[in-house]
């Protein structure tokens, strides 16, 4: 059955066909981005905080031959308090054809630094709505190291056709559409109309409303609800589609969709076979798939990957890990819960995305194959920790600083946070740990399809969820593991027939119980005041934390990391001298 959707406005189509547009080609050198456009998560202005983003109606025409984008963005805002202007973030390198508010052209808008201010002829009162329309065109910023930096990737498929993807987490949504570039500025609904040269395919967020083909161009209409702004993506290529339906344990049916490149069908079918068990794992262990009424979608991309809501980018080239599964697919899919359903209030809280997303890999291995691969995966993570910056700074942070190993926690928001979660799971037990997780993700411990909505949360919200579920105050745990860089150190000393234990945490309370093997017996020491003891005979050996339940400072790991660093530096000097 052929579905019809609206095409781009006639005036815009006429402009796109003009000789001036046809002759224009991408600049030899990319224009520089302003600080505001380069960064994502800059604190919102009062005007941005005073509105709810109800609808983003986004029309894109993507011309691969010129690496050019024509856009027509219609944004609906509702005021939560009186406001005199609309403020959106938008790369100033685009040419603005027109700006309108409620159908009336606005001439006195300003965009000096990538934060566009549009004065209102009449201030909005609380509850009033305004519709902002911006028509623009230009050459989107190109990502040189996607997905680690933001921008477009203009590539060629192995079969020669254009292969295009946006990957903007590193710099934000304002790289290709006017938005409020902050985690707490999700639109409630997004309609995307993506026009591409036929027979290319556009795989998008949410549900495909329809596709129209005319004059050698195809327009795909996609609709989704409550997406992260950086999750709104363009994915264009010579795609073929694998489809199936998943019968959920909750009684609903979830569409499974994988857009893969031509020529990759055999490999794609192998990866597609992993969709259902991964979905089953998450629904059993965490809870209902949050976007079941849209789809579980994946698209093959010319960059490694990104958690684009309901259309996760996949570029791992069908590689299996040593554990026999595709870790990238699983990690990005985890973000549907930890990132898209539960969204960070600030980039400082990104461990809620990346730490939980990373912990899902060893958990999946434990669920799928047992403890050996679970512990092996955790040990691999343990060897990577830097412990130079706290996981949580306790203040607003920019995305670039959080992901930087020099300025912020960097990789520790993945691996250290994962191990913190594992330690906490052992501390409070599986029942409470997964109830805490559900409380944080869904706002309740009994989620079912239809009884929850997407949430924002920060680290204090997570700690509050812990207290609500457990009835206990675990602030001491998070103070040591999240808010300071150094790991707790467990010091053990024999004194006669007693083994004395003490936690060293820089003076912070840390009543973390610890298991100790003495002889052939494993005992739990309470450590109520950060100290404890147990009897030991002169000829008895002991092992601290024999089941590796507690994340702590380990001298042999420190020695390994130092040796590895020294060898890498020596090798680099050797290569530099030879070159």
DSSP string, 155-195: EE-TTSSEEEEEE-TTT-GGGTS-B--STT---SEEEEEEE
Binding site listing for Zn(2+): 331, 335, 354
Q: What does the DSSP assignment read for 244-287?
A: EEEE-TTS-EEEEEEEEETT-HHHHHHHHTTHHHHHHHHHHHT-
CA 148 – CA 168 distance, rounded (Å) = 9
280-299: average pLDDT: 98
Nearest to 49 by CA among 14, 79, 15: 79
Tell me the average pLDDT of the chain.
Answer: 94
pLDDT, mean of residues 500-509 = 97
568 pLDDT more than 80: yes
Cα(192)–Cα(182) distance, integer angstroms = 20
Residue 445's contacts (CB-CB under 8 Å, 6 or more residues apart) are: 435, 438, 439, 469
Q: Is the confidence at residue 4, as pLDDT, over 80? A: no
Could you list the beta-strand ranges (E) of 281-371: 296-300, 305-306, 312-314, 342-344
* 118: helix, strand or coil: strand
Tokens 């569409």 — which residue? Answer: 255
Strand 296-300 to 312-314 pairing: parallel
pLDDT for res 27: 83
Confidence of residue 579 (pLDDT cuts 50, 70, 90): confident
Q: What's the mean pLDDT in 88-101?
A: 98
Q: Could you tell me if 318 and 270 are in contact, meaning their C-beta atoms sit under 8 angstroms apart?
A: yes
DSSP, collapsed to helix, strand or coil, labels residue 334 as helix
Q: Which residues are annotated as a binding site?
A: 331, 335, 354
Residue 2 has pLDDT above 90, yes or no: no
Residues 73-93: tens digit of each pLDDT: 999 999 999 999 999 999 999
The SS3 of residue 49 is helix
Predicted model pTM? 0.93
In this prediction, residues 523-549 reach a mean pLDDT of 96
Identify the pLDDT of residue 502: 98
Amino acid 24: pLDDT: 66
- Asked if pLDDT for residue 70 goes beyond 60, the answer is yes
What is the C-alpha separation between 14 and 460, in angstroms, rounded? 52
88 phi and psi angles, rounded to 5 deg: -130, 155
Helix H or strand E encompassing 524 = strand 521-525
Evaluate whether 234 touches 306 at the Cβ level (below 8 Å): no
Q: Residue 18's pLDDT is what?
A: 33
Q: What is the pLDDT at residue 550?
A: 98
- DSSP 3-state of 525: strand
Is 25 a residue whose pLDDT tops 90? Answer: no
pLDDT at 578 over 60: yes
Mean pLDDT of 509-532: 97
pLDDT for 9 equals 35
State how far the Cα of 192 lies from the Cα of 8, in Å rounded to an integer.
11
Above 60 in pLDDT, residue 101?
Answer: yes
- 74 exposed, middle or buried (CB, 10 Å; 0-12, 13-18, 19+)? middle
Provide the pLDDT for residue 482. 98
Mean pLDDT (whole number) for 211-237: 97
| Omega cis (within 30) before 199 | yes
For the chain, domains (ranges, CATH) are 10-237 (2.60.40.1730), 245-481 (1.10.390.10), 489-553 (2.60.40)
Look at residue 441 in the predicted model and tell me its pLDDT: 98
Could you read off the pLDDT of 321-378 as tens digits, one per residue?
A: 999 999 999 999 999 999 999 999 999 999 999 999 999 999 999 999 999 999 999 9
Angle (CA) 552-553-554 rounded to 5° is 110
Residue 492 phi/psi, 5° resolution? -125, 140
Q: Which of 197-201, 219-223, 396-400 has the lowest mean pLDDT?
A: 396-400
Residue 19: pLDDT over 60: no
Q: Tokens standing for 327?
A: 């870790």
Lay out the sheet containing 201-202: strands in order across. Answer: 151-156, 162-167, 235-237, 201-202
Identify which of 195, 146, 212, 199 has the alpha carbon closest to the alpha carbon of residue 175: 146
pLDDT category of residue 22 using cuts at 50, 70 and 90: very low
| Alpha helices per DSSP H over 383-443 | 399-402, 415-428, 430-442
Peptide bond into 147 cis (omega under 30): yes
404-441 pLDDT, tens digit each? 999 999 999 999 999 999 999 999 999 999 999 999 99
Give how far Cα 203 sits from Cα of 55, 65, 329, 548, Å.
20, 19, 17, 44
pLDDT at 455 over 80: yes
Confidence at residue 300, expressed as pLDDT on a 0 to 100 scale: 98
**Residue pLDDT, tens place only, 161-220:** 999 999 999 899 999 999 999 999 999 999 999 999 999 999 999 999 999 999 999 999
pLDDT at 5: 34
Nearest by Cα to 177 from 100, 106, 73: 73
Instruction: Count the residues in the chain.
Output: 579
The CA-based diameter of the chain, rounded to the nearest angstrom, is: 92
**Which pLDDT belongs to residue 178?**
98
In this predicted structure, what is the pLDDT of residue 447? Answer: 98
Sheet of strand 95-101, all strands in order from the earlier edge strand to the far edge:
104-105, 95-101, 129-138, 68-79, 51-63, 189-197, 217-225, 207-214
Which pLDDT score is estimated for 277? 97
Given a cut of 60, whether residue 522 has pLDDT beyond it is yes
d(CA 484, CA 503): 15
Tell me the C-alpha to C-alpha distance, in Å, between residue 526 and each of 71, 490, 532, 534.
62, 13, 7, 10
Distance CA(490)–CA(249), nearest Å, equals 43
What pLDDT is attached to residue 546? 97
Residue 286 has pLDDT above 90, yes or no: yes
Q: How many CA atoms lie within 13 A of 89 on its CB side?
A: 28
* Rounded Cα–Cα distance for residues 107 and 422 (Å): 56
Q: Which long-range contacts (CB under 8 A, 24 or more apart) does 378-384 make?
A: 378/418, 378/419, 378/422, 378/548, 379/548, 381/414, 381/415, 381/418, 381/419, 382/415, 382/419, 382/551, 382/554, 382/557, 383/557, 383/560, 383/561, 384/411, 384/415
Beta strands 296-300 and 253-261, pairing class: parallel
List the Cα angle 56/57/60 in 5-degree steps.
120
pLDDT score, position 104: 98
Residue range 124-138, pLDDT digits in tens? 999 999 999 999 999
């Amino acid at each position: 059955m052929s579905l019809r959707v609206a095409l781009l406005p006639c005036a815009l189509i006429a402009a796109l066909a003009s000789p001036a547009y046809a002759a224009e080609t991408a600049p030899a050198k990319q224009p520089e981005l302003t600080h505001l456009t380069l960064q994502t998560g800059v604190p919102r202005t009062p005007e941005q905080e005073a509105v709810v983003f109800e609808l983003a109606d986004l029309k894109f025409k993507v011309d691969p031959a010129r690496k050019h984008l024509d856009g027509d963005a219609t944004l609906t805002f509702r005021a939560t308090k009186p406001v005199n202007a609309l403020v959106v973030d938008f790369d100033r390198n685009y040419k603005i054809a027109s700006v309108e508010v409620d159908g009336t052209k606005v001439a006195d808008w300003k965009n000096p630094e990538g934060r566009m201010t549009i004065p209102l002829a009449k201030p909005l009162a609380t509850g009033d709505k305004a519709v902002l329309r911006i028509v623009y065109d230009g050459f989107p910023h190109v990502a040189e190291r996607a997905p680690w930096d933001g921008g477009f990737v203009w590539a060629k498929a192995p079969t020669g056709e254009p292969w295009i993807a946006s990957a903007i987490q590193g710099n934000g949504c304002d790289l290709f559409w006017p938005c409020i570039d902050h985690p707490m500025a999700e639109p409630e609904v997004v309609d995307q109309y993506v026009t591409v040269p036929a027979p290319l395919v556009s795989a998008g967020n949410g549900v495909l409303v329809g596709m129209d083909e005319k004059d050698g161009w195809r327009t795909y209409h996609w609709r989704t609800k409550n997406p992260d702004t950086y999750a709104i993506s363009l994915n264009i290529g010579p795609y073929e589609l694998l489809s199936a339906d998943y019968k959920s344990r909750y009684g609903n049916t979830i569409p499974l969709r994988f857009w893969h490149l031509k020529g990759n069908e055999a490999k794609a079918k192998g990866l597609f076979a992993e969709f259902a068990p991964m979905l089953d794992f998450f629904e059993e262990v965490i809870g209902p798939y949050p976007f079941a009424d849209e789809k579980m979608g994946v698209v093959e991309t010319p960059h490694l990957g990104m958690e684009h809501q309901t259309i996760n980018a996949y570029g791992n080239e069908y590689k299996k890990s040593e554990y026999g599964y595709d870790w990238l697919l699983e990690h990005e899919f985890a973000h549907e819960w930890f990132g898209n359903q539960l969204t960070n209030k600030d980039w400082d809280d990104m461990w809620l995305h990346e730490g939980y997303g990373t912990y899902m890999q060893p958990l999946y291995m434990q669920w799928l194959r047992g403890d050996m691969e679970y512990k092996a995966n955790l040990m691999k993570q343990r060897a990577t920790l830097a412990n130079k910056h706290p996981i949580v700074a306790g203040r607003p942070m920019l995305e670039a600083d959080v992901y930087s190993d020099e300025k912020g926690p960097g990789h520790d928001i993945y691996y250290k946070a994962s191990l913190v979660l594992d330690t906490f799971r052992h501390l409070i037990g599986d029942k409470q740990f997964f109830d805490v997780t559900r409380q944080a993700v869904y706002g309740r411990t009994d989620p079912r399809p239809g009884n929850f909505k997407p949430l924002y949360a920060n680290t204090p919200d997570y700690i509050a969820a812990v207290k609500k579920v457990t009835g206990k105050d675990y602030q001491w745990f998070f103070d040591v593991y999240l808010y300071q860089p150094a790991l707790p150190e467990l010091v053990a000393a024999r004194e006669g027939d007693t083994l004395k234990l003490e936690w060293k945490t820089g003076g912070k309370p840390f009543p973390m119980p610890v298991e100790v093997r003495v002889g052939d017996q494993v005992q739990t020491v309470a450590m109520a005041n950060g100290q404890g003891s147990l009897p030991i005979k002169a000829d008895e050996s002991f092992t601290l934390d024999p089941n590796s339940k507690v994340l702590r400072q380990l001298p042999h790991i420190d020695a390994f990391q130092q040796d590895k660093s020294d060898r890498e530096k020596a090798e680099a000097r050797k290569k530099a001298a030879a070159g």
